[in-house]
Amino acid sequence: MGGLGLGRMAREVRDGLAPVVDFIYPPRCPVCGDAVMDQNGLCSHCWSMLDTPGEPCCAACQIPLDAGDERTRCLACVSRPPVHEGIAAATLYSNISRQIVLSLKHGRRIALAAMMARLMATRLPQDDVALLVPVPLHRWRLWKRGFNQAALIARELSMLGKGELLVDGLVRYRQTPSLGGLSASQRREKLAGAIRAKQGAVDQIAGRNIVLVDDVLTSGATSGECVRVLKAAGAREVRIACFARVANEARSAA
């Protein structure tokens, strides 16, 4: 059975169990706690507060540009062209998107991955043969959390027909410390060699268009290392898809 067939079956099972889950755990907005219609939704007020990327913005990294700016790329992308082929961000990082991400990662509201993926899918071009590769977690963090939120979102994107899921295409072999407060070069140094392509996945990566999936994109150091590894493995092009884009952090790193 193909990926789309499996995705359709998974959606049918999930939808069939939804009334039972809703009865046991009445759905609540992950931001404010108000009652909502389903487990992966927001209340109307919080939905209206989501900050989505608009124009003008950099064509390469989606950092907002000043009103009236006639450039198509920010100065950072002009001076140091990115190695990826573009960023598709569903929202700009704000208190609302932060609460959604935290509810998924630490509140274990895994149903939110479906809503996040739907918003991300609207930003992605139609490419049925793309390979969806999540940003990996180190095995100890994966063991502690129980799931990789990027992999959950990537699975939902595959169910929406945005590509073929390769859940373990990348492996994080070494834990890295927090990158906050480090310069761009220091971040790259800390990440060097920490992420590699899984040996058995190289043949699947070579020559393919890749969508690198993550929940939050901050400075771009981790995603940049992932892109570098995928390109070294023979990927034709790599586009980054994220739920929330941290614009201020990206400017600072640049």
For the domain covering 83-174+182-253, report its CATH number: 3.40.50.2020
pLDDT score recorded for residue 113: 94
pLDDT score recorded for residue 39: 59
pTM: 0.83
pLDDT score recorded for residue 94: 92
Going residue by residue through the chain (254 aa), what tens digit of pLDDT does each one get? 444 554 555 555 455 555 444 535 567 888 887 676 665 677 888 888 888 887 778 888 877 787 766 678 888 788 888 889 999 999 999 999 999 999 999 988 898 999 999 999 999 987 768 999 999 999 988 999 999 999 999 999 999 999 999 999 999 988 776 666 666 677 777 788 889 999 899 999 999 999 999 999 988 889 999 999 999 999 999 999 999 998 765 555 54
The DSSP bridge partners found for residue 241 are 88, 213
Chain centroid offset of residue 175 CA:
20
Residue 74: helix, strand or coil by DSSP? coil
d(CA 101, CA 119): 13
d(CA 47, CA 67): 25
Q: State the DSSP code for 199.
A: G
Q: In the chain, which residue ranges form alpha helices assigned H by DSSP?
A: 3-24, 44-48, 75-79, 95-105, 112-121, 139-145, 149-159, 184-191, 202-205, 221-232, 247-253
pLDDT score recorded for residue 21: 47
pLDDT score recorded for residue 23: 38
How many CB atoms are located within 10 Å of the residue 207 CB? 9
Domains of the chain, residue spans: 83-174+182-253
pLDDT score recorded for residue 115: 92
